[in-house]
Structure 1
Amino acid sequence: MQIETDVAIVGAGPAGLFAAFECGMLRLECVLIDALSEAGGQCVALYPEKPIYDIPAHPAIEAGDLVASLERQLAPFAVPRLLGRRVESLSGLRGAFRLRTDAGDEVAAKAVIIAAGAGAFGPNRPPLEGIESFESTGAVQYFVRRRESFRGRRVVIAGGGDSAVDWALSLRDVAAKVWLVHRRDRFRAAPESLDRLDRAHARGEIEKVVPYQLHGLTGENGVLSGVTVATLDGEIRTLDADRLLPFFGLATDLGPIANWGLQTGLHTLIPVTPSTLETTLPGVFAIGDVATYPGKLKLILQGFSEAAMAAHAIHPIVRPEQALHFEYSTTKGVPVA
């Protein structure tokens, strides 16, 4: 497929979707490109039912519902999408870029916004013998897409960070039993979550298994019957579980984006100019978790602000002959065709 547009947005997570909306508000045409088969990024792929508490005007909103709202907001602009495609190459200069995907698509754009989150992501898998057979049946999972699928299950959650603690607290209401396994009796979650964990443990709703580490799995034909854990001293214990959720973080990779000639920093981050979100490659901008600058906060709401700033910085590139007069949306409304 060949597409000619004003702005190519690489990444269709929350920041990418809102960037498309902001481009639409400035009458800039754009296309969304994402390696995932559906829009929403990690919010949809990893934790669609997980509540988010720091989205303005929403005391709490599930990640999947947030993406659905962003889609409704974007709908008037009918933005084309190239989903299930990875951008393999970027060539050209500011005002005349050409992107190619692994599906053979060619996109001509005057500016590019990288909203790739943490890049391509996948779980850090524990080195347990035979784990693959349990992954294929869903007995071992690395993300929670539906809480209800754990109803009545006996669940081992391994990890010491926010994801492990949050999901232990969330699943205690639906699972028959929840164990939380960590190599030490200190967790790295938010203080409020740790207080809730201590209270849940005292009530017997969650059993903390510390200081233990995952040691092995028991079961046949992909049916999990137990999770073996061990201390550093070799003390072994078997938990009679039928589900394992290891939360040891994500392995991330910028993929081909790292070869576009951009300056990149640690942990697949792209430095940008804070006032415009432009990268070291003129005409290419980065927003959301992939972008870094002094004072950066990795919050979805900051990604939304960056999307608006990048769209306004791009307008002179796409419409150099047209002065941009800032207007509030309450004044101009949503542009119509």
Structure 2
Amino acid sequence: MNIVLFHGKVDTTIIKRGVFKIGNYDLAIIGSGPVGLFAAHYAHLHGLSSIIFDSLSEVGGQPQMLYPFKQITDIPAYKKITGTDLIKKLTDDLAGETKIVTNHKVEQVTKNSDGFTIDNSVFVRSIIIATGAGAFKPKELPLKMDEATKKQVHYFIKDPKEFAGQTIGVFGGGDSALDWALELSNYANIKIIHRRNQFRGLESNVAKLKSLKNVEILTPYLPKDIQMINNQLDVSLKEMGGTQLRNETFDQIIVAYGFKANNRFVKKWGIDLNGTNIAVDRSMKTNINGIYAVGDVVTYPGRVPLIALGFGEAQIAITAIMRDLFPEKTLTIHSTSM
């Protein structure tokens, strides 16, 4: 697989070795979620050279980081597919087609007469912003913890089998908490702690969890203290609206309190926002010529937050970019004709 993954800031030694060829990129894609990855593939079909930047340590965005094993049921051509499998297929499609830079948050975009300079290092002729809900950080467990304790408190899950045979506490009441609890219940004993009796996630998932013998639901409780005792996490829980305290012991904890995310950082590049999203026209262009936006980062009347819709928006943006950069070319729209 020939995809180039470079972790960290672009440095001049790697540029000199030819990994980054300044001036040789038609397109920079900011964000490597499913829509960004598909945009890179579709750009390659049209012969555009592209580079992807992502602030996270790996590609895949929210499907890979937040729900890697969840079955996604609204992707065309797939009755269902996990987040991990979707990202793998999209990434495999990029083999030899593009450069990917992870662990790199784009800070500066400078407009030139014939394109843009990104972070004073890479020159591109056009940009697609595909950052989804934006750079996201997990909301942490609001308890004082030492470093040893923190190692057993998790905000992402990559391999549920690593928790096999353990007692796992899952804190939260949304879809992510329920999805993680369901998946982990195949390997471990689960205790779900939520501050309300009602859950925000799917009722069908709540019903499934209640039917499992190795799952216990503790509501309405909030964590008040956490200690490491004999290499286990001893958590003090306070009943909401009451004074009752109870202590529970876990081998490890999964925290699913949601994530802080926003796209306001694009304002410093001169891009107009509509609320927290980027305003675009029918060609997915922003208020700045040469910069487009696709996926859940954008807003327009009637839009719904679907990955499949983002795929279509990427095709619209790439088509507009081709017409802008190569007006002399006869543009082939359908891949079956390419």
TM-score > 0.5, shorter chain as reference: yes
Whether 1:157 and 2:170 are equivalent positions in the alignment is yes
Residues 229 and 236 in structure 1, CA contact (< 8 A), matched pair in contact too? yes
Equivalent residue for 1:113? 128
Question: Would you identify which runs of 4 or more consecutive aligned residues in structure 1 move more than 6 Å?
Answer: none
Aligned residues: 317
Equivalent residue for 1:224? 232
Residues 183 and 211 in structure 1, CA contact (< 8 A), matched pair in contact too? yes
Tell me: CA distance 1:251–1:200, structure 2 relative to 1, closer, same or farther (3 Å): closer
CA displacement 1:245-280 (0-9 Å, x = unmatched): 1111111243743311111233x421222x211112
Which 5+ residue runs of structure 1 have no aligned equivalent?
A: 333-337
Equivalent residue for 1:134? 149
User: What is the CA distance between 1:162 and its match in structure 2?
Assistant: 0.6
Alignment of 1:230-269 (within 5 A): 230-232=238-240, 233-254=242-263, 256-266=265-275, 268-269=276-277
CA displacement 1:51-82 (0-9 Å, x = unmatched): 32222222222222211111222225x21223
Give, in whole Å, the separation in 1 of the partners of 2:106 and 2:77: 35
Give, in whole Å, the separation in 1 of the partners of 2:159 and 2:74: 22
Please identify, of 196-205 and 165-174, the stretch whose mean Cα deviation from structure 2 is larger.
196-205
Equivalent residue for 1:81? 100
Q: Which of 90, 100, 114 in structure 1 is aligned with 2:109?
A: 90
Q: Which of 49, 53, 64 in structure 2 is aligned with 1:29?
A: 49
Give, in whole Å, the separation in 2 of the partners of 1:255 and 1:294: 20
Alignment of 1:162-241 (within 5 A): 162-175=175-188, 177-190=189-202, 194-220=203-229, 223-232=231-240, 233-241=242-250
Secondary structure in structure 2 of the residue aligned to 1:156: strand
Letter in 1 for 2:99: P
User: What is the CA distance between 1:84 and its match in structure 2?
Assistant: 2.4
Equivalent residue for 1:271? 279
Tell me: CA distance 1:173–1:10, structure 2 relative to 1, closer, same or farther (3 Å): same
Q: Percent identity?
A: 35
Please identify, of 298-307 and 44-53, the stretch whose mean Cα deviation from structure 2 is larger.
44-53
Equivalent residue for 1:330? 336
Q: Which of 27, 39, 58 in structure 2 is aligned with 1:7?
A: 27
The normalised TM-score by structure 2 is 0.87
Q: Which of 32, 35, 42 in structure 1 is aligned with 2:62?
A: 42
Whether 1:146 and 2:159 are equivalent positions in the alignment is yes
Residues 140 and 244 in structure 1, CA contact (< 8 A), matched pair in contact too? yes
Letter in 2 for 1:250: F
Residues 93 and 283 in structure 1, CA contact (< 8 A), matched pair in contact too? no
Give, in whole Å, the separation in 1 of the partners of 2:204 and 2:69: 22
Tell me: CA distance 1:83–1:235, structure 2 relative to 1, closer, same or farther (3 Å): same
CA displacement 1:165-222 (0-9 Å, x = unmatched): 11112211211x21111111111112xxx2342243144342111111122212148x
Give, in whole Å, the separation in 2 of the partners of 1:25 and 1:199: 44
Tell me: CA distance 1:94–1:229, structure 2 relative to 1, closer, same or farther (3 Å): farther
Equivalent residue for 2:10? none
Residues 15 and 288 in structure 1, CA contact (< 8 A), matched pair in contact too? yes
The normalised TM-score by structure 1 is 0.87
